[in-house]
Structure 1
Amino acid sequence: MTYLRRGPVFRSLAGGLGAALLLSACMGGTAGNKDDGKDAAAGYDPKANVTLTWWTGQTEQAETTAEQLAQEYHGLHPNVTIKTSPGAPTTDDLLTKLSAGFAGGSYPDISYAYGSWAGELGASGHTQDLTSFVADPAFGWNEFSPAARETATVGGKVIGIPALVDNLALLYNKKLFDQAGVAYPTDQWSWDDFRAAAKKLTKPADKIYGTAYSVSGSEDTTWHLWPLLWQHGGQILDGTKPAFNSDAGVAALETLRQMAVDDKSMYLDQTDEKYWRLFNSGRVAMMMSGPWSLLDIKDAKLSYGVVQLPGFNGDHETVSGPDVWVLFNHDDVNRAGAARDFIKWLTSAQTDAKWNLKLGNLPLRTTEKDTPEYAAYVKEYPGGDKFFANLANAKQARPTVAGYDELSRNVGDAISKVLQGTESPKQALDEAAKKSADSVTN
C-alpha cells in the first residue's frame, strides 16, 4: 500500500495505549472535554481567515500529493490555509501523538486514523459530531460502503469521514493452478471447494502450499476470521459481551483448523510479512488479502486472478478495514466549519479520484466507477474492479468500541493456538472471550 504499512490494514495498538487514552478521556484531559452536545460549526463563516492543521499519516510520496491538494484547496478558498504533515514518524504512532496532544491541548483539526482507533478517539471527547453534517443529501453519505459508514460512527455519532476503503477477497496464482490441473476459483466457491483445492495444490516436496494464514496474533490474524464468523451467522459482540465464541465462531475457526492441522495445506506465517511474499514468489497458491496486494503483485509480474471470498450456504460476506479522517473540535466554529468543508471536498468523487486512485487505492464512493481515473486504475491493477464490487459484500464493520484492540489480541492468540494444533476452537475462543469480557465498553 501507499499508506505507511503493508499487509494488515489495522495493526494492534502497543500494550496499554488504548486503555491510557480511554482513561484520559474519562478524566476529561487537561484540555477539557469539548464534546458538550453543541454543533462545533454552528455559526461558521466560510469567508473567515482560518488555518487548519492536517495530519495526513502518509508516506513521502503520498505526503507530496497531500500538500498539492492542500494548495489546490487554498487556491479555491484563499482564506483557508492548511498546514500538512504526516503527524508522526509512522501511521502506527499517530494515536500516541494524538493522546499526548489531548493531554497538552495541542492536537490537529484533522487526522488520519485507523478505523480500529475509532472507539478510543470517540471516547476522548475531542471529536466533532458530524452526524447532521453527513445527513445533508448533498454530502452523499450513502455513496460510501456500509462498513465504512459504520466504522466512522461511534456511539451513534459520526466522528469522521472514510479516508480509505478495502476488503478481503481471494487472490490466486493461475500458474500453480494450471500446473496442478485444478480449475480456477469462482465467485460461487464454498469453503469446502476452497479446502479441496488447497489440498490438491499443496506440494510439500516443492514447498508449495495451497493457502496461508498469519499466526502472529495481530489484527491480521483476527480479522481474517470475521468473514467466516459472519457467514455462519455469528457476531463479534452481543452488546458489550463477547459473542465470537458461539457455535458460529467455533465452526468458523474449525474450517481453518482443518486446513492447517488436518490437511497441512496452509502455510502458517509467524509474522504478517511472509505469506504475501510467498504468494508473490509462487509458493502459495491462494491468499485472502486486499487491494493493497495488487501493488506488490504488479511488481512481481504474477499471473493471477481475484474472486470474492468462498462462502457458507451461499453467503460470501467479507470484512472491510476502512480508515477515517477524524475531525477534532477546538471551540472555534470557523476552524470546525472549514475542516468540514475541506474534508467534503477531499472525499468528493472528483477529488478522491485524483487522490486515492492515484495512490493505487480503491475509490471511496460508488459514483467514482464512471470516472476516467477509475478506468485507468483498473487497467493498471487488474482485479481492482473485483475488489471494488466486493465492497457490496462488506455489510458490517468491526466494533467501534474502546477495548476492541485488546479483544483482537485475545482472539488472535486463540486463532494462533488452534491453527498450530495446541488447543481446540471451543477451548481457545472461550478463553479469549473470558479475557476480553472486561475490556470492551461502549
Structure 2
Amino acid sequence: MRGVAALVLVAGLLTGCGSSSEEAGGPVEITWWHGQTELQAKVIEELAAEYGKAHPDVKITPAVGSTNVDEMLQKVQAVLAGGKAPDIAYMYGTWMPHLARTPKVYDLTATVKAPGFGWDDFWPAERAVSEVDGKVIGVPALVDNLAVIYNKKLFDAAGLAYPAKDWTWDDFRAAAKKLTGGGVYGTAYPVTGAEDTVWRFWPMIWQQGGSIAAPDGKKSAFNTPQAVQALDLWSAMARQDKSVYLDQNGEKFLPLFQSGKIGMVIAGPYALLDFIDHKIPYGVQVLPGYNGNHETVAGPDNWVVFDNGSRRAKAAADFLAWLTKPEQDARWSLGLGNLPIRRATTALPAYQKFVKDFPDIDVFTANLDNAKQARPHLPAYPEFSEKVGDAIAQAMVGGTPARDALAKAAIEADTVLGRSR
C-alpha cells in the first residue's frame, strides 16, 4: 500500500507499443510502466539494461512520462479502450479482482508453476493476492505488512517493558494509556475512512477467527460481536483513555512519532527509513493478538502482464521470472528498503547487510508468516472498504456505538456487493 508513490509512465499514453522491427522479426519490444520515484526508476533502468544485454532478442523500455501510482489503473483502462496497452504495469494488490475481469490481462499460471520459478518460495499472502479464480494474474513487485513500531525512549521514561511477542490488545491499551501525558499520545490511528483506516482493522477480525466477506463474495461477514469488541477497544482508547491521536488526514501521525509525540504506531517497514534518518530509538514488535493469534495483513502489489500478442506476452513473462529471482530481488527490494518478496532472498549476504542497515526490519520479514490471508477478492472492494472505513471513523471520532456503526456499514457494504454482481 505504501512506498511507491510517484510514477514514471510512458510519454504519450495513447501511442502504440509495437514497432516495425518487431513486426519484421527483430527484437521484441516490451513497454514497462513501473510506477517508481527517481531513485527506484534508476534501479529499474539498470535492471532493464542488464536484461537486454543478456537477452539481445528482447528490448525492455521503462516508462518515461509522469502521473502517479494511484492513477495507474485508470491510465491502463484508458489505453486498453484504445487497444493499446503496456506489456507490464505496476498494480496495487487490491486491484487484482478488477483486473481479473479484463480479457487483456495475461494468465501467468504457467509461468509461476514452471520448474525453476519457485512459486512456493513466495509468502502465502503474496500468492493469495496474485491468484484470482484459479488464475495467476500478477507476480509480486512489493510486499509489506503491519506491525507495531515503538519509541524505546518513551517506554523507558514511562517505566514500561518493551512489547513482547505474546502481548495482547489489552496489553496494547494499557501501554498506550501509560505512555499518554505531557503532550504525548500512546498511539495513533488514521481515521480518513480510506483503506489506510481499514486494513489496520482487518487483522483484529482474522485474529478472532472471523472473515471480511462470505466465500462467494455476495455478502459481508465483518459485522460480528468480535468485530464490535475490536472497534469498541479502539473507541474506548480514543474517547475514554484519550490515548489515541486521531489523524484525520492520515499524514501527521508518522511525523509526530518522529518528533517523540506518539509512543507506538501501527505501520509497515516503509516507515523505518525516515525513523532511521531522524535517529529515532525505535523497536518493532508483531501486532498484539487475541488468544495467541498475532495475524497481520500484508499489502502485496504486483507486476501485471497485458497480452499484446503471444510473442510479447511470453517475453514479458520471462522477464518477470528473471526479475523476481533472489539476486534481482536483493537489488530491487532490499536495495530500496523494502522487504524481500521471496524467502530465498533472505539467505543472500545482501539480506544481512539489509538487516544491519534497517534495525528490526527482520521482525517485519518474519511477520510475513503471520500474514495468512488476503483481503477478499472483490471487484468492488474499494467501495466496500469505504463503508467500513466510515464506520471506524464514526465510532472513534464521532462516538457512534461500534455496534451501530458496523451494522450500518454491513448494510451498505451488502448493497455495494449486490450492485457489483
TM over 0.5: yes
Matches within 5 A, 1:262-301: 262-301=240-279
* Residue number among 386, 396, 401 corresponding to 1:424 in the alignment: 401
Partner of 1:346: 323
Partner of 1:395: 372
Partner of 1:100: 78
Q: Secondary structure at the match of 1:98?
A: helix
Partner of 1:128: 106
Q: Secondary structure at the match of 2:89?
A: strand
Distance (Å, rounded) in 2 between the aligned partners of 1:345 and 1:114: 21
Matched, 1:234 2:210: yes
1:143: Cα distance to partner?
Answer: 1.0
- The answer to whether the 8 A contact 1:169-1:307 is kept is yes
Partner of 2:34: 56
Could you say if the C-alpha distance between residues 2 and 427 of structure 1 is closer, same or farther in structure 2, counting changes exceeding 3 Å? closer
- Amino acid in the other structure paired with 1:269: D
Distance (Å, rounded) in 2 between the aligned partners of 1:87 and 1:338: 23
Distance (Å, rounded) in 1 between the aligned partners of 2:187 and 2:271: 15
- The answer to whether the 8 A contact 2:111-2:318 is kept is no
Distance (Å, rounded) in 2 between the aligned partners of 1:299 and 1:119: 37
- Which stretch of the first structure deviates more once superposed, 128-137 or 359-368? 128-137
Matched, 1:436 2:409: no
Partner of 1:408: 385
- Amino acid in the other structure paired with 1:219: E
1:125: Cα distance to partner?
Answer: 1.7
- Amino acid in the other structure paired with 1:264: K
How many residues are paired up?
399
- Amino acid in the other structure paired with 1:163: A
Matched, 1:222 2:198: yes
- Amino acid in the other structure paired with 1:381: F
Matches within 5 A, 1:66-215: 66-85=44-63, 88-203=66-181, 206-215=182-191
- Amino acid in the other structure paired with 1:79: D
- Amino acid in the other structure paired with 1:397: A
Could you say if the C-alpha distance between residues 118 and 417 of structure 1 is closer, same or farther in structure 2, counting changes exceeding 3 Å? same
Partner of 2:5: 4
TM-score (norm 1): 0.88
- The answer to whether the 8 A contact 2:239-2:399 is kept is no
- The answer to whether the 8 A contact 1:2-1:360 is kept is no
1:88: Cα distance to partner?
Answer: 4.5
Name the Cα RMSD after superposition.
1.6
- Which stretch of the first structure deviates more once superposed, 265-274 or 48-57? 48-57
1:133: Cα distance to partner?
Answer: 2.3
1:86: Cα distance to partner?
Answer: 6.0
- Amino acid in the other structure paired with 2:288: P
- The answer to whether the 8 A contact 1:130-1:157 is kept is yes
Distance (Å, rounded) in 2 between the aligned partners of 1:370 and 1:431: 48
1:2: Cα distance to partner?
Answer: 4.9
* Residue number among 343, 355, 368 corresponding to 1:378 in the alignment: 355
Distance (Å, rounded) in 2 between the aligned partners of 1:383 and 1:209: 23
Q: Secondary structure at the match of 1:123?
A: coil
Q: Deviations over 1:120-142 (max 9, x none)?
A: 11112211111232122421111
1:269: Cα distance to partner?
Answer: 0.3
Q: Secondary structure at the match of 1:217?
A: coil
Distance (Å, rounded) in 1 between the aligned partners of 2:313 and 2:298: 29
Distance (Å, rounded) in 1 between the aligned partners of 2:108 and 2:224: 35
- Amino acid in the other structure paired with 2:41: E
- Amino acid in the other structure paired with 1:104: G
Distance (Å, rounded) in 2 between the aligned partners of 1:311 and 1:86: 45
- The runs of at least 4 aligned residues of structure 1 exceeding 6 Å deviation read none
1:155: Cα distance to partner?
Answer: 1.9
Q: Deviations over 1:265-291 (max 9, x none)?
A: 111000111011111110000111100
Q: Secondary structure at the match of 2:246?
A: strand
Partner of 1:245: 223
- The answer to whether the 8 A contact 1:130-1:160 is kept is yes
Could you say if the C-alpha distance between residues 388 and 86 of structure 1 is closer, same or farther in structure 2, counting changes exceeding 3 Å? farther
- The answer to whether the 8 A contact 2:235-2:399 is kept is no
- Amino acid in the other structure paired with 2:252: K
Q: Secondary structure at the match of 1:345?
A: helix
Distance (Å, rounded) in 1 between the aligned partners of 2:189 and 2:197: 7
Matched, 1:261 2:262: no
Distance (Å, rounded) in 2 between the aligned partners of 1:157 and 1:438: 27
Distance (Å, rounded) in 2 between the aligned partners of 1:52 and 1:376: 33
- Which stretch of the first structure deviates more once superposed, 135-144 or 408-417? 135-144
1:93: Cα distance to partner?
Answer: 1.3
Q: Secondary structure at the match of 1:138?
A: coil
List gaps (5 residues or longer) in structure 1.
6-46
1:405: Cα distance to partner?
Answer: 0.1
- The answer to whether the 8 A contact 1:328-1:336 is kept is yes
